[in-house]
Amino acid sequence: MKKNIFCSIIGCILFSSVAVAQSPAYDSLLAKKVGVDDYGMKQYVLVILTTGPSAITDKKIVDSLFKGHMANMGVLAKDSRLVVAGPFGKNDMKYRGLFVFNTGSIEDAKAWVATDPAVKSGLLDAVYVKWYGSAALMLVNDAHEKVQKKSF
């Protein structure tokens, strides 16, 4: 009986050590740079861009608004506010694209989206959701520059 209790205690200690062991690949400097928690995660705001209320049909105006939309995304990405962005394919929900912002604040995300000419014009609208994801997403923009052959 004493042997079983001793083995159980040792087993619990070993299991506890394994359960909280630090990853051998852990890089504390990189973790600090991207702002991780102990699980390598962080809080973001996910923005789903939808078709807005404005019915702009003039192709020159629409093209100009989307040119401004792309330029604005470049500014936000360069400032490390915009982590990931991209368009959706055709769908029945009128979803047009998404932004993932480097903030846990919906108010911050709304302020940053408000700088987008396509949103200001009503061509696009936005839905905001807090999202908890891998802090490694913060590395995407640097990696993207290394694989992007042409810019928008």
Domain-embedded: residue 70 = yes
Please work out, in degrees rounded to the nearest 5, the angle formed at the alpha carbon of residue 91 by the alpha carbons of 73 and 75. 0
Q: Is residue 14 part of a domain?
A: no
Identify whether 35 is part of a domain: yes
Residue 41 maps to a domain: yes
Instruction: Kindly state whether residue 40 falls inside one of the protein's structural domains.
Output: yes
> Is 120 contained in some domain?
yes
The CATH number covering residue 111 comes to: 3.30.70.1060
Question: What does the pLDDT read at residue 8?
Answer: 52
Position 6 scores a pLDDT of 46
* Per-residue pLDDT, 142: 84
- Structural domain range at position 135: 27-147
* Helix, strand or coil, per DSSP, at residue 20: coil
Answer whether residue 118 is part of any domain: yes
Are the beta carbons of 44 and 133 closer than 8 angstroms?
Answer: yes
Q: CA 139, CA 48: separation in Å to the nearest integer?
A: 21
Domain count, the chain: 1
Per-residue pLDDT of the chain (152 residues; tens, 9 = 90+): 555 554 455 455 555 445 556 777 888 888 888 888 999 999 999 999 999 999 899 999 999 999 999 999 999 999 999 999 999 999 999 999 999 999 999 999 999 999 999 999 999 999 999 999 999 999 988 888 888 888 77
The two tokens of residue 15 are 């299991």
**Burial class of residue 69 in the structure, from the number of CB atoms within 10 Å of its CB (0-12 exposed, 13-18 middle, 19+ buried):** buried
